[in-house]
Amino acid sequence: MKTIRESGKINIISNIGDGSGRRVANDFLNKLTVEFAKQSTKYINEVYEAPFAYKEKQLHSIIAPSIAKLTNAFIMECPVSRQWSKIRKQNYEDSHGWLDYWCRYRGVDFFIEIKHNYVSFKTINIRKNSHENWDYMNNRQLNLVKKEAKIYKDYSKGVLLISFHVITIYDYLQKRKKTKCFDDKERLIMAQKNYYENLNPSPNWSNLWILKNDLVRNSSEESKTHKTYYPGLIFISKVHEII
């Protein structure tokens, strides 16, 4: 487990391997999540709320500057040709769509799709919509851009298709109770391992960001009956074969 100054700790699991472009992908994902933690820390310290408490669209306000800091070139909502007819098995015309991110890092092009879900600190069970989003991202969206990736490979050292799933861990506390201190790091690691071992297709990389307690307190949300805390985030990825 590694400490990120002012942000907390991270726990990386990686089975990406050492094949062509894979060391580059491993380095990119490790640095991306560290930058994500740093960007989120600045946001929390400034406005006292968690940027990852919102929906997927708001998450891009943290992901985009993190990628920008690591790469010389990237674009959000990159236009690509998605061959929808291959999935529908009908004679629909293939149509254009958008890839969440294209970026070039150390000469390798990354096609990245993003998804965002939540998991309860109390149960650490994987929700149905998390399974569905993971399956759709890997087996549908990324499969549909392989033809486009073959074009990009002529201008780089290769193209890697990457799914990037962000899971926000949350917990509730009744207002009448004292402010919570999240020292159960083992439970957060259990949640990470649960996702890493039980998603299909199998991931080959994950990172867990355990927030410092002052960040957890500062980003908590208060309602009439309870407080919501965000003690950690799980990042799950599958790096597909290089094209």
Q: Could you please report the per-residue DSSP string of 178-197?
A: PPP----HHHHHHHHHHHHH
Amino acid identity of 20?
Answer: S
CA 67, CA 221: separation in Å to the nearest integer?
28
Structure-token pair, residue 179: 């402010």
Tens of pLDDT along 150-192?
Answer: 877 777 888 999 999 999 999 988 665 565 667 789 999 999 9
Tens of pLDDT along 43-73?
Answer: 999 999 999 999 899 999 999 999 999 999 9
**Residue among 103, 51, 53 nearest 77 (CA):** 103
Instruction: Give the residue, 98 or 140, on which the prediction is more confident.
Output: 140
Domain-wise residue ranges, the chain: 2-239
pLDDT at 93 over 80: no
Count of CB atoms situated within 10 Å of the CB of 80: 19
Structure-token pair, residue 228: 């919501």
The share of the chain scoring above pLDDT 70, in percent, equals: 89
Instruction: Report the predicted TM-score, pTM, of the whole model to 2 decimal places.
Output: 0.90
CA 47, CA 40: separation in Å to the nearest integer?
11
CA 62, CA 219: separation in Å to the nearest integer?
15
Candidate ranges 82-86, 136-140, 183-187; pick with highest mean pLDDT:
136-140
pLDDT at 183: 72
CA 82, CA 151: separation in Å to the nearest integer?
13
Residues 101/142, Cβ–Cβ less than 8 Å:
no
Mean pLDDT, rounded, for 8-29: 94
